[in-house]
Chains A and B, each alone.
Chain A
Amino acid sequence: DIQMTQSPSTLSASVGDSVTITCRASQSITEDLAWYQQKPGKVPKVLIYGASSLQSGVPARFFGSGSGTQFTLTITDLQPDDFATYYCLQYYNYWAFGQGTKVDIE
Chain B
Amino acid sequence: DVQLLESGGGLVQPGGSLRLSCAASKFIFGRFAMNWVRQAPGKGLEWVATISASGASPYYAESVNGRFTISRDNSKSTLYLEMNFLRGDDTAIYYCARDNVDDSGIPRGYFDYWGQGTLVAVSS
Q: A: which residues have CB within 8 A of B?
A: 1, 32, 34, 36, 38, 43-44, 46, 49-50, 55, 87, 89, 91-92, 94-100
The reply to whether A49 and B45 contact each other, CB–CB distance below 8 Å, is: no
The reply to whether A49 and B110 contact each other, CB–CB distance below 8 Å, is: yes
The reply to whether A89 and B46 contact each other, CB–CB distance below 8 Å, is: no
Q: B: which residues have CB within 8 A of A?
A: 35, 44-47, 50, 59, 61-62, 95, 100, 108-112, 114-117
From known contacts A43-B117, A44-B114, A49-B100, infer whether A99 and B44 are also in contact, taking CB-CB under 8 Å. yes
The reply to whether A87 and B45 contact each other, CB–CB distance below 8 Å, is: yes
Q: Which residue of B lies closest to A94 (CB)?
A: B59
- On chain A, the residues within 8 Å of B95 by CB distance are 43-44
Q: Which of B35, B62, B108 contacts A49 (CB 8 A)?
A: B108
Nearest 6 A/B pairs, CB to CB: A91-B109, A34-B110, A95-B47, A100-B44, A43-B114, A97-B45
A and B contact pairs by CB, cutoff 8 A, 24 listed: A34-B110, A34-B111, A43-B95, A43-B115, A43-B116, A44-B111, A44-B114, A46-B112, A49-B100, A49-B108, A49-B110, A87-B44, A89-B111, A91-B108, A91-B109, A94-B50, A94-B59, A95-B35, A95-B50, A95-B109, A96-B47, A97-B46, A98-B44, A99-B44
